[in-house]
Amino acid sequence: MITKKTLRSGRVRLELDRDQVVPDDPGAGTPAMVWVGNDSGTYWCVTDTGETINGGPLKPSELAWLESMRDEVERFLYEEVP
């Protein structure tokens, strides 16, 4: 069973990890992380704020790409049967 997946667009890397999903505590774990160089943020925080943890702003095209991945993120982490 595949538990990890990495997607890329330009300088943005989106890492998905099913092993980080905690069904009984949705706020725990980091199943979807966005990386821009050495800076990161959870997928949901970055798409909500447009910034990584250290305040690095993403370009509108990068945010649009991340948003376009939302169905893929949710399907891979929560819907696909192993």
Contact between 59 and 67 under an 8 Å Cβ cutoff? The reply is no
* pLDDT tens string 15-63: 999 999 988 887 888 999 999 999 999 999 999 999 999 988 999 999 9
pLDDT range class, residue 1, cuts 50, 70, 90: confident
pLDDT at position 81 is 52
The residue range of the domain holding 68 is 4-79
Q: Do the strands 39-42 and 4-9 form a parallel or antiparallel pair, or are they unpaired?
A: unpaired
**What distance in Å separates the CA atoms of residue 6 and residue 27, rounded to the nearest whole number?**
21
Domain total for the chain?
A: 1
Q: What is the mean pLDDT of residues 4-25?
A: 94
pTM: predicted TM-score of the whole model, two decimal places = 0.90
pLDDT range class, residue 68, cuts 50, 70, 90: very high
| Beta strand segments in the chain, E | 4-9, 12-17, 32-36, 39-42
